[in-house]
């Protein structure tokens, strides 16, 4: 079955998705009966394409790969590559699904939340890797999707393509998830790993993380725990029935941890990790983000480098831990595909 897809945002994640859809198109068709036709792209910097008959993905990837604009798409006819606000694109496209892939705003969730609402009200499913709408407005958006007989899926918001929500939904059905605890930020895990294994100072480990592309020029969101905070709020509200706001969750980052602290913990048989956790308590869910000294016997203690991991404490299966990439072009692009396929299966 063919699905018409519209992209809002065509940066790293959007191009990762396009590469996957092009490279795996025969496999997806033969194994799942899934055929994707990208009919629209709207990007604040790269421009707009609105092509009902389907966009030539290799041509777009070649164009963007050399720094071009969508206005230069070689197969465009008049009207197909004119500047268009994403809200107008949603209204004009005949897409079945909107992949919302814009930047994260953890303070307001905008403009992504408005795009998602517009798509759902226009009869289009939505998949997103954007933490802002999921952390701040998940319940409202999910209710809107259900009211309109649509799906709103968010696999890529917590651990990129590592299947957190699919594991809970399909791998642990019937389980009561009582607690989640994990390493949800690869940048901080990389820094702590270098501080322990190579004896680096925090500042030097951070500089290396920035050089390798793990940390932004302004690393505050990662090292002070804001990224992990958004993710634990999403997990609390989606998997555990919580109603937390980001302001409800105590947060502490790793910037005050010294090389001496890491060495002392290692000597005692412990290892520092930035841990995000949430636990069901009487009347709701309590969550936190903070550096913790974990015993080496803890499954999370062995997660090194830029990897992420999450442990579920359940009533039927006990503790279940999943580990994998928490970021990356292909990995996050895959998270969008992993949400498109369930929509296809339910059709």
Q: Are 155 and 339 in contact (CB under 8 A)?
A: yes
Distance CA 332, CA 62 (A): 20
The CA-based angle 322-325-326, given to 5 degrees, is 95
Instruction: Assign 3-class secondary structure to the chain.
Output: CEEEEEEECCCHHHHHHHHHHHHCHHHHHHHHCCEEEEEEEEECCCEEEECCCCCCHHHHHHHHHCCCCHHHCCCCCCCCCCCCCHHHHHHHCCCCEEEECCCCCCCCCCCHHHHHHHHHHCCCEEEECCHHHHHHHHHHHHHHHHHCCCCEECCHHHHCCCCHHHHHHHHCCCCCEEEEEEECCHHHHHHHHHHHHCCCCHHHHHHHHHHCCCCCCCCHHHHCCHHHHHHHHHHHHHHCCCCCCHHHCCECCCCCCCHHHHHHHHHCCEEEEEEEEEEEECCEEEEEEEEEEEECCCHHHHCCCCEEEEEEEECCCEEEEEEEECCCHHHHHHHHHHHHHHHHHCC
231 as an active site residue: the answer is: yes
Catalytic, out of 46, 231, 273, 280: 231
The set of catalytic residues is: 231
């Amino acid at each position: 079955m063919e699905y018409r897809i519209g992209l809002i945002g065509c940066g790293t994640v959007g191009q990762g998705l396009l590469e996957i859809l092009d490279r795996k198109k025969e496999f997806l068709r033969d194994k799942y009966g899934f055929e994707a036709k990208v009919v629209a792209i709207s990007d604040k910097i790269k421009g707009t394409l609105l092509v009902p008959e389907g966009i030539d993905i290799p041509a777009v990837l070649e164009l963007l790969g050399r720094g071009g604009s969508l206005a230069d798409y070689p197969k465009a006819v008049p009207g197909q590559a004119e500047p268009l606000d994403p809200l107008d694109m949603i209204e004009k496209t005949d897409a079945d699904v909107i992949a919302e892939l814009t930047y994260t705003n953890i303070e307001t969730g905008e403009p992504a939340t408005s795009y998602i609402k517009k798509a759902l009200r226009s009869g289009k499913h939505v998949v997103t890797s954007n933490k802002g709408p999921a952390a701040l407005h998940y319940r409202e958006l999910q209710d809107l999707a259900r009211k309109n007989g649509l799906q709103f899926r968010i696999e890529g918001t917590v651990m990129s393509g590592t299947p957190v929500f699919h594991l809970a939904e399909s791998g642990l059905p019937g389980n009561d998830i009582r607690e989640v605890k994990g390493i949800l930020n690869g940048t901080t895990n990389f820094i702590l790993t270098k501080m322990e294994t190579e004896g680096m100072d925090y500042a030097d480990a951070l500089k290396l993380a920035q050089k390798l592309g793990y940390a932004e020029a302004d690393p505050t969101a990662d090292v002070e725990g804001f990224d992990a905070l958004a993710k634990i709020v999403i997990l609390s509200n989606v998997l555990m029935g919580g109603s937390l706001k980001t302001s409800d969750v105590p947060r502490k980052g790793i910037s005050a941890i010294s090389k001496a602290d890491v060495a002392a913990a290692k000597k005692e048989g412990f290892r520092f990790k930035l841990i995000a956790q949430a636990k069901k308590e009487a009347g709701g869910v309590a969550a936190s983000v903070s550096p913790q000294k974990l015993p080496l016997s803890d499954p999370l203690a062995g997660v090194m480098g830029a990897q992420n991991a999450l442990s579920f404490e359940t009533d039927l299966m006990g503790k279940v831990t999943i580990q994998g990439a928490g970021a990356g072009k292909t990995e996050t692009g895959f998270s969008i595909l992993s949400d498109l396929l369930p929509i296809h299966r339910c059709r």
